[in-house]
Amino acid sequence: MTGRPFLQIPGPALVPERVARAMSQSLIDHRGPEFASLLKEVLDGLKNVFQTTGGEIVLYPGSGTGAWEACLVNTLSPGDRVLGCVNGHFSDRFCQTASAHGMTVETLEVPYGVGVPADLVEEHLRADKKREIKAVLALQSETSTGVVSDIAAVRQAMDRAGHPALLLVDVVSSLASIDFRFDEWRVDAALTGPQKGLMLPPGLAILAVGPKALKANQSAKCPRFFWDWAPVLERNARGEFPYTPATALLFGLRESLAMLAEEGLPNVFLRHNRMAEACRRAVEAMGLKLLVKKRHECSNTVTAVRMPDGFDSDAYLAHAEKSLGIPFGPGLGKVKGKIFRIGHLGSLNELELLAALGAVEMTLKSFGVNNPLGAGLAAAESYFLQTAANTGQGL
Amino acid sequence: MTGRPFLQIPGPALVPERVARAMSQSLIDHRGPEFASLLKEVLDGLKNVFQTTGGEIVLYPGSGTGAWEACLVNTLSPGDRVLGCVNGHFSDRFCQTASAHGMTVETLEVPYGVGVPADLVEEHLRADKKREIKAVLALQSETSTGVVSDIAAVRQAMDRAGHPALLLVDVVSSLASIDFRFDEWRVDAALTGPQKGLMLPPGLAILAVGPKALKANQSAKCPRFFWDWAPVLERNARGEFPYTPATALLFGLRESLAMLAEEGLPNVFLRHNRMAEACRRAVEAMGLKLLVKKRHECSNTVTAVRMPDGFDSDAYLAHAEKSLGIPFGPGLGKVKGKIFRIGHLGSLNELELLAALGAVEMTLKSFGVNNPLGAGLAAAESYFLQTAANTGQGL
Amino acid sequence: MTGRPFLQIPGPALVPERVARAMSQSLIDHRGPEFASLLKEVLDGLKNVFQTTGGEIVLYPGSGTGAWEACLVNTLSPGDRVLGCVNGHFSDRFCQTASAHGMTVETLEVPYGVGVPADLVEEHLRADKKREIKAVLALQSETSTGVVSDIAAVRQAMDRAGHPALLLVDVVSSLASIDFRFDEWRVDAALTGPQKGLMLPPGLAILAVGPKALKANQSAKCPRFFWDWAPVLERNARGEFPYTPATALLFGLRESLAMLAEEGLPNVFLRHNRMAEACRRAVEAMGLKLLVKKRHECSNTVTAVRMPDGFDSDAYLAHAEKSLGIPFGPGLGKVKGKIFRIGHLGSLNELELLAALGAVEMTLKSFGVNNPLGAGLAAAESYFLQTAANTGQGL
Amino acid sequence: MTGRPFLQIPGPALVPERVARAMSQSLIDHRGPEFASLLKEVLDGLKNVFQTTGGEIVLYPGSGTGAWEACLVNTLSPGDRVLGCVNGHFSDRFCQTASAHGMTVETLEVPYGVGVPADLVEEHLRADKKREIKAVLALQSETSTGVVSDIAAVRQAMDRAGHPALLLVDVVSSLASIDFRFDEWRVDAALTGPQKGLMLPPGLAILAVGPKALKANQSAKCPRFFWDWAPVLERNARGEFPYTPATALLFGLRESLAMLAEEGLPNVFLRHNRMAEACRRAVEAMGLKLLVKKRHECSNTVTAVRMPDGFDSDAYLAHAEKSLGIPFGPGLGKVKGKIFRIGHLGSLNELELLAALGAVEMTLKSFGVNNPLGAGLAAAESYFLQTAANTGQGL
């Protein structure tokens, strides 16, 4: 394959070359003074990205799955009741993690493509008269369906119900892409990986942890050693880790946090919104339907597209991969074979998105779908031109 | 600027990451055994790319301009008459190099956008009854106009005229992109740089030199030291150079030659032709006109596009650079302000070209040209789909 | 600091540039065909390094600590009795991991600097008439003390006792450096990280798992989700992972495994032995004492050196770091302040080791120790010259 | 070969990883605004390094040999008389470059290992009553012999003779390593390559040009096109080049100039002096003799060592390369086979120098020389310790 590869799965995204270069630095002593300074920069930068001053950051070599586990075993005990908001494959897996650790998960399920219903959360919590539910689990962006949920509204629902449960939020495909306010929304723990908005290769579990969660840790009875955040926080205070950290990723993280700071978080959110809307308009102009019906529930990092009737999306993706070498995300769980997902997160620009949309147009056509060539691209171009002023571009 | 940059000037093109990685290797002793082996690989690989077994390769740290100089001072003497075929800015500069070194240049000029007229070359040489003309200078691909000339036809014209002049050919923007046959066409010296079809950063002057040129070197009287190829050939035979070579570029060159060999030269030519034709169709579908009128004279590495009446192409390019950060090539010499050039050479794929064409559509529109959005992209997509079978792709 | 950095902690070691370059490749879809092929290469290569054909490889984003946890929670249940062989800081932490997960750890403690006593293991197991001990935990190389233990002897001891406990071995600082034979020694699970003999940045937990351990997994009752190896093995069989893998590290691992295969494992072991012995002789020639008394119990990856009386090793290491920017490993646990450790693992050559030993000589001197300059270096040089023939070098 | 390579030829030196990373950035349009800004930074930084405010910088893709040619053809005419100070292989080649371009070279030859004798320069110029000599050619550091000459003294000699000849100085192996003051010493043109003190891969010819040389350019009659600096200066003023520049090297140069500025030129000179003196003392402690007899004429970038009687240095270097993979510089010209040269320039630290000296000790020994192991290293260590305070290190 000549030219540069495209990778339009909803994460990992391609790593910017600034970050890749930063990661290739010679390793340093993870217990030395240079490391301590690296760690401080990274923790401070992550606090900015989580929009928290009161929370603590906890990092592990790991993955989003590991971050779920870390979040749960540090704050809860076997037998605890938790309320899991399930609207897709990954929210389901978050709940499975809780079950695997002996918690009793009560799920609040809504169809794929719909956001977490804050009113039902409120209702469910009100019904828990004895206040036995220890935590509410929710995803800000369900990567499997491209739905974004209103976490502020969930917080308000919990407040209205006067319920003391912890609010544990997965921001894997939203952090550093979609506005997330840890302090303002009083989230108790939020978790993510590095390979989405943070523009790194995968390999970390990243948490922001608030005071209530830190306190819950002291009474949490889940057995834990690697994931125990108490020694991490204690050793971080001395500029090190209780285990060997993934130094190369931390080099990269320092750089990507610097890039986000240079751009400014509000601009980062605006950019993702513009890319996402261009993608959505293009997809609709191709004659396709989005999985998410309500525009304000569409995630700005991933767009789930319904495969036209009579076509299997898995077969289509294999065709796209084979013919143009471009991967998109498959339908997972209940929508397997029925949707495909276009990732538009991380460090992506208008031209790269046009290229990816061109790939969709061409591969759909050659797969047998009767879509008009160029229509989606024209829609995206048109939207980019209309909104160029917002970006300070002279387009 | 987020995302990956685009660089659509007609060279340098973006360096493939395989090549960039190869170039980042630790330097080695340029007089040691490892270097000797590197040099051999590079010389052999270049012979393949020039399609020569009888010629020798000569490399210098330098540029295309340096390669012109090397080619001339090694084979000619001050006062020599040479015939320069001028059909653009760079062919003109090739002739200026000869003039600067005291040669008498007779130019055979044709308008920008037209190829070298083999019949006029024949006529001119026939008129040189005394056989005083020592060399014919021609460019296979005039980078400034996107015209490709038929070098085989020039050779045949020289043969028909029975003229003994050397045939010195600039293949800067054609080698490793457009079929060039050093041996078959009996070219005496051909020259290029590394930053086009060879997919490297600039910094080398590369020549293939045939037996007649090697012989001419012995009587050539142009003063020379750095460019003198005799010591280069002598030292190369011992695996080294008479000066410090640009080792990092040679590491990269070994890799890019490997990539070309893996793909196969015929496939490389086919790919460039497909990209170029997609570009040409897209440009025409946008309602624009190509500078080159005859399709078979269109270069497969660069497309020169006439700026619509009433618009200045330099101002347009500044607008494109400012609004999307994408550089295209300006009009040079006689067509300054009147054309812009789209480079589509090196390691480029369909999706990247679509992106670049999308940039043209959007920036033309926002510059005030009344072009229909999406039309060019649809034309390129359609052509890619029609020709996918030729590439072994399942599009 | 000018020049190249030195990093003589006992891991991570400096990453070879071949591996660093491999890691900088563009990310790929972790569910695509290219990834499946990468995964297969990596798993096969690791089997070679573990010297196993009957075992399975399990990989996680993680660390050595995570690998301990993975090894234990997949094979054991809360309340299980395990025998922990403790002869240093890390063997102690392995046991703490077991305790944290509810196991009852019986420790067989020997002083720091001594290997695991196979006869005492046998005795302990014989005493367990009811065969209630479920696992024996041991480290092949105790990174904190530089002791290597005879795992084959431990296996034989278990055999002699006729005890069915699992043999779970930490090979963090021995794999790919010191001979380790998973199959021949009938180890049930072995675990490591990537940042030692595998020459990568940290960020993985790597296990080899034998049939008995795989079977134990089915009845193990430790709660687990992220670390559960059953879905990993199941998904690996389809060329993917149940979570987002650390793709960049896998790119690097493929390359480092290729390097090990090119050199040949026996040569890798010989090289580490030669480096280590040169280091030991140098240290002794400086007038210092090794922590490990028995030469055959000295690890070939790390050398623990007793700080001369009256000097604190932590203060010394801070001095070395400050004055020459070179980090060595500190004394951990019971020998804190009393020893320092020289790492000589991964991709290290004679000249780099001389440089590191020179740093020891100079910084000891300037720290106030009355060591003779040059003596250690002369001893290392002399040993290198004596043993050059073994390496095929003409020294 | 495991571990990191050593490269102790007197340039190219190993490229610092900061510079290597900078060079791997994506190429940019060499006629765009980003390039203009890069060029300005590079030109300003080079002025600082040349210690000039009144001179202009001229850059070409090329080499030191090319820089000689550029320097000469821009300022002189065929038939001009020039005075060449010859004290080694490269000063001889500088003169050959002049001869090749038709100049009449009068050489002032002194033995290898001795600096340029300012008094003889004065005498020679005084004898030129008609003031026909147009230029004095001298090398600040003769890379082939490791001699440094006093350029200030040469300038004073010319002044005393009241001679208007241009002073053209090769600073290839001295710039950014040994104090060189373009303005203060009224040098007319100085030239270098990037692969020594500037810490880059080879591939550039770099000149500083003063007002008299700029004026000389206007009447100089040497034919030139590529090397003509007039169009370079003219186009540089607009932020571009008349040919395709070696952009990747310019990326690297920006970074290496930043590193030099961070360290501060006086510290850079001090560091090179310290490395060089450590090397000289080590070599003497090994029982070997330096080629240069006067200590103040020893270059701080390269040390030429006399091979002990009865041994051939070329054979020795082949042995060192084969046994430890470490290249040193051979004897060139009149001292071929009689000396070897240790390069200690660019980004090198104490530990790397120790390693290189260890390589000398070991390979001499195994080559049959009866040198005492460790003696040279002890001498270097001792010197480093004595002089640590000067460097701000706490050694």
Task: Compare CB distances from C24 to B21, B25, B26 and report the shortest one's residue.
Answer: B21
Q: Are strands A204-209 and A189-192 parallel, antiparallel or unpaired?
A: antiparallel
Average pLDDT over every residue of C332-358: 97
Q: What is the pLDDT of residue B10?
A: 97
d(CA C135, CA A230): 28
Residues 19-58 of B with CB under 8 A from C: 21, 24-26
Q: For residue D3, list chain A residues with Cβ-Cβ distance below 8 A.
A: none
Q: CB distance A63–C23 less than 8 Å?
A: no
pLDDT band at C352; cut points 50, 70, 90:
very high
SS3 B307: coil
Average pLDDT over every residue of C218-242: 98
Question: Hey, which bits of C19-99 come out as E strands?
Answer: 56-61, 81-86
Residues 74-133 of B with CB under 8 A from D: 78, 96-97, 100-102
* Contact yes or no for C19/C252 (Cβ under 8 A): yes
Tokens of C239: 């060329």
Task: Compare CB distances from D2 to C347, C361, C374 and report the shortest one's residue.
Answer: C347
Q: For D110-166, how does the pLDDT look when each residue is reduced to its tens digit (9 = 90+)?
A: 999 999 999 999 999 999 999 999 999 999 999 999 999 999 999 999 999 999 999
Question: What's CA A350's distance to the chain center, in Å?
Answer: 21
> Å from D385 to nearest chain C CA?
7
Q: Which sign does the torsion angle of CA B365, B370, B373, B378 carry?
A: negative
Which single residue is written with the structure tokens 């390669």? B67
Q: What is the pLDDT of residue C394?
A: 65
Q: What is the pLDDT of residue C72?
A: 98
Tokens of A223: 């057995």
Which single residue is written with the structure tokens 């040169």? C278
Nearest Cα neighbor of C274 from C370, C362, C385, C173 is C385
Which candidate in C351, C360, C369, C390 is best for mutational testing of the D interface (most D CBs within 10 A)? C351
Percent of chain A with pLDDT over 90: 98
Task: Compare CB distances from B355 to A319, A351, A363 and report the shortest one's residue.
Answer: A351
Give the H or E element holding residue D330. strand D329-330
Average pLDDT over every residue of B367-386: 97
Tokens of B20: 């960039």
Q: For A110-164, how does the pLDDT look when each residue is reduced to its tens digit (9 = 90+)?
A: 999 999 999 999 999 999 999 999 999 999 999 999 999 999 999 999 999 999 9
Which candidate in C259, C347, C354 is best for mutational testing of the D interface (most D CBs within 10 A)? C354
Residues 170-209 of C with CB under 8 A from A: 193, 195, 201-205
Answering whether pTM is above 0.90, one says: yes
Q: For B34-89, how does the pLDDT look when each residue is reduced to its tens digit (9 = 90+)?
A: 999 999 999 999 999 999 999 999 999 999 999 999 999 999 999 999 999 999 99
Residues in Cβ contact with D363 at an 8 Å cutoff, skipping those fewer than 6 apart: C395, D316, D319, D320, D323, D324, D326
Interface C-D, measured as beta-carbon pairs within 8 A, has a size of 148
Q: CB distance C375–D377 less than 8 Å?
A: no
Per-chain mean pLDDT for chain C: 97
Nearest Cα neighbor of D357 from D113, D1, D349, C389 is D349
Q: Which sign does the torsion angle of CA D281, D282, D285, D288 carry?
A: negative
Percent of chain D with pLDDT over 90: 98
Q: For B303-340, how does the pLDDT look when each residue is reduced to its tens digit (9 = 90+)?
A: 999 999 999 999 999 999 999 999 999 999 999 999 99
Which single residue is written with the structure tokens 């302040």? C337
Distances from the Cα of D170 to the Cαs of B231, D96, D114, D222, D224, in angstroms? 22, 14, 16, 20, 20
Which single residue is written with the structure tokens 């000339």? B149
Query: Is cis: bond before C12, omega within 30 of 0?
Result: yes
pLDDT band at D391; cut points 50, 70, 90:
confident
Per-chain mean pLDDT for chain D: 97
Tokens of C269: 């072991």
Res. D328: pLDDT tops 90: yes
Res. A395: pLDDT tops 80: no
Q: For C109-118, how does the pLDDT look when each residue is reduced to its tens digit (9 = 90+)?
A: 999 999 999 9
- Residue C121 per-residue DSSP state: H
**Subunits adjacent to chain A (3 or more Cβ pairs under 8 Å):** B, C, D
* Contact yes or no for D8/D360 (Cβ under 8 A): no
Interface B-C, measured as beta-carbon pairs within 8 A, has a size of 11
Q: CB distance A226–C26 less than 8 Å?
A: no
Q: What is the pLDDT of residue C389?
A: 80
Res. A385: pLDDT tops 90: yes
Residues 216-255 of B with CB under 8 A from A: none
| Residues C151-179 as b or e (16 or more Cβ within 10 Å = b) | bbbbbbbbeebebebbbbbbbbbbbbbbb
Per-chain mean pLDDT for chain A: 97
d(CA D373, CA B384): 69
Helices (H) and strands (E) in chain D, counts: 13, 13
Percent of chain A with pLDDT over 70: 99
> Å from D249 to nearest chain A CA?
17
Residues in Cβ contact with B370 at an 8 Å cutoff, skipping those fewer than 6 apart: none
Percentages helix, strand, coil for chain B (3-state, rounded to 5) are 45, 15, 40
* Contact yes or no for D313/D240 (Cβ under 8 A): no
Nearest Cα neighbor of D373 from D286, D284, D308 is D286
Per-chain mean pLDDT for chain B: 97
pLDDT band at A394; cut points 50, 70, 90:
low
* Contact yes or no for D190/D49 (Cβ under 8 A): no
Give the H or E element holding residue D59. strand D56-61
Distances from the Cα of A175 to the Cαs of A117, A268, A303, D149, in angstroms? 21, 10, 16, 62
Q: What is the pLDDT of residue D360?
A: 98
pLDDT band at D394; cut points 50, 70, 90:
low
> Å from D263 to nearest chain C CA?
9
Q: For A249-280, how does the pLDDT look when each residue is reduced to its tens digit (9 = 90+)?
A: 999 999 999 999 999 999 999 999 999 999 99
Average pLDDT over every residue of A220-244: 97
Q: What is the pLDDT of residue B242?
A: 96
Q: CB distance D247–B102 less than 8 Å?
A: no
Q: For C243-274, how does the pLDDT look when each residue is reduced to its tens digit (9 = 90+)?
A: 999 999 999 999 999 999 999 999 999 999 99
> Å from B297 to nearest chain A CA?
25
Res. C390: pLDDT tops 80: no
Tokens of B34: 């490892």
Percent of chain B with pLDDT over 70: 99
Q: CB distance C25–B21 less than 8 Å?
A: yes
Can you say whether residue C213 is alpha, beta or left, with left for phi > 0 and alpha for psi between -120 and 50 degrees?
alpha
Average pLDDT over every residue of A175-202: 98
Cα angle, residue D97 at apex, residues D96 and D98 outer, rounded to 5°: 90
Give the H or E element holding residue C249. helix C247-263
* Contact yes or no for A326/C32 (Cβ under 8 A): no
User: Of A395 and D168, which is predicted with more confidence?
Assistant: D168
Q: For B230-279, how does the pLDDT look when each residue is reduced to its tens digit (9 = 90+)?
A: 999 999 999 999 999 999 999 999 999 999 999 999 999 999 999 999 99
Q: Are strands D56-61 and D204-209 parallel, antiparallel or unpaired?
A: antiparallel
Q: Are strands A147-148 and A141-142 parallel, antiparallel or unpaired?
A: antiparallel
d(CA B82, CA B101): 12
d(CA C256, CA C270): 18
Give the DSSP letter string of B13-80.
PPPPHHHHHHHTSPP--TTSHHHHHHHHHHHHHHHHHHT-SSSEEEEEES-HHHHHHHHHHTT--TT-
pLDDT band at A389; cut points 50, 70, 90:
confident
